[in-house]
Amino acid sequence: MILQDNLNAFYEVSKASPGPIPWSVTLNPLDSSQKKSSAENLKINQSKLLIVFAIHGDEIDTLPGVLEFISDFKKGKIVYPSSITFILGNPEAAKESTRFIEQDMNRLFVFPVPPSSTKEHLRSEAIFSTFKDYSVLLDLHQTRMKLPHPFFCFAFHKASYLWAKALEAAPVMVTRSPKEAFLPGKKCVDEAFRDLGKPSMTLELGHIGQDLKEKTYKVLKNFVDVSQKVYFKELKIEAVAQKPLDLLQRIAYFNFSDPKMTLKPDLTNFRKISKGEELGKSILSPADGFILFPKYPKRNDKGEAIPPYDPYLFQVLGSISLDQALKW
């Protein structure tokens, strides 16, 4: 009931302050009707912010914080000289409290869209069509398994890394070479935005079912504060990004090659593991490091994972220095 009320509230706001596509909200500064100089208008057009959340319909715990932020902006408690747009990524899946209806949307930012496209692929196309109008993207996510702390997760891109540092929303960033896709042949929303040469960040803020209202609001407020400094006080992002952000890279994968493969039930994100450690029946860790995204898919009565599921049963992380990342 609370979820449905929040979805209804966002939908109503999307009608009162419509964004570029259905189920989106654009907040404009309260003084937007006042005449501006051409220089001011140029600065405003080059500083528009985009926030995408609930690309996966079951990752909806950020919505209460989004609604509170929108309410405070409309009351004048939060001020930003340009526009801020929120897109609820997969509203149909959110209504059903499921990850997706037909396909995982955050793998579908690959175009052109095939003629026989799913709802998710058509929605990804609509979201992508808005990217040209925004300067920076923040993509909010949640993990299925519990998290000891939030983390950023995207291919290394210096400007995006500096924005992530400046947001001070997580102590660590999980990264990879910019030449390496998150999944072969697929593309996530942040990757598609960065392909346009603009900074974008994916932030895993917590786990599904966690109360994230306060964390979400704080991240959004910081996003606006950093943007104010960069775009309107003309500070370099390097000067704003002062807090350390540790880097971890994916050093190994374990292929989900058999639907009967099953991990031990107690594996959580960032748990330290050792090479050769048994993580399930006939499943040994390929390296020392930290486990990320252990998969616990739904199963049939034979104990087999029900497709579709990701090709990796889990990933292993290891440390990487900034100097190493800059050489990619």
- For residue 118, give the 3-state DSSP assignment: coil
Return the amino acid letter for 213. Answer: K
Beta-strand relationship, 312-319 and 246-255:
antiparallel
pLDDT, tens only, 104-153: 999 999 988 887 789 999 999 999 999 999 999 999 999 998 999 999 99
Question: Ramachandran region of residue 119, left (φ > 0), alpha (ψ -120 to 50) or beta?
Answer: alpha
- Cα separations in angstroms, 52 against 39, 73, 149, 201: 29, 17, 21, 10
* Beta-ladder partners of 202: 139
pLDDT, tens only, 81-94: 999 999 999 999 99
Are 38 and 78 a contacting pair, CB within 8 Å? Answer: no
pTM over 0.85: yes
| pLDDT of the residue at 31 | 65
Domains present along the chain, CATH in parentheses: 2-240 (3.40.630.10), 251-326 (2.40.50)
- Cα 298 from chain centroid? 23
12, 145, 138: which is closest to 84 by C-alpha?
138
